[in-house]
Amino acid sequence: MGYLKKILNNCKEVSLLTLKSKEEQLSLQQKFELKFHKYFCKCCKNFEKQSAQIDKSMKAFFNSPPLKASDNFKEKLKQKLK
């Protein structure tokens, strides 16, 4: 009972593991704990969804450069590349 209670409540560990699971293999036990927890926990499910949304918008963010370097700096670069 203690074990189930622990994995039902440990949002911090579960959400961290969720991120890790996108890149790395988890152990069978970890996989089970994630599934079990997320079945009952809307918050962690939501965190997972938002994490994917953040990834998507971060990629778009850097694709159209969010900042502009100053014209002075660009001019200086052009002088150096001669």
Partner 1 sequence: MQENTLNYNKWVDNYTDYLYSFAFYKVGKKEEAEDIVQETFLSAFKARETYNGKASEKTWLMAILKNKIIDYYRKPKVIKSFSSYLDDTEDSFENVFFDKDNHGRWTEQIAENYFSKAADGYLLSKEFQKFLSICLLKMPVKLRSIFISKYIEDDIAENICKEHNITPSNYWVMIFRSKTLLRNCLEKKGVVD
- Provide the binding-site residues for partner 1, judged by CB under 8 A: 5-6, 8-13, 15-16, 19-20, 23-24, 42-47, 49-51, 53-62, 65-69, 73-74, 76-78, 80-82
Burial of 64 (0-12, 13-18, 19+ CB in 10 A): exposed
Residues in the chain: 82
In the complex with partner 1, the residue whose CB is nearer, 31 or 76, is 76
Element (H, E) at 45: helix 42-63
Output the CA angle 17-21-22, nearest 5 degrees.
130
DSSP state of 25: P
In the complex with partner 1, the residue whose CB is nearer, 28 or 81, is 81
Question: In whole angstroms, how close is the CB of 32 to partner 1 at the nearest point?
Answer: 19
In the complex with partner 1, the residue whose CB is nearer, 16 or 32, is 16
Question: In whole angstroms, how close is the CB of 72 to partner 1 at the nearest point?
Answer: 10
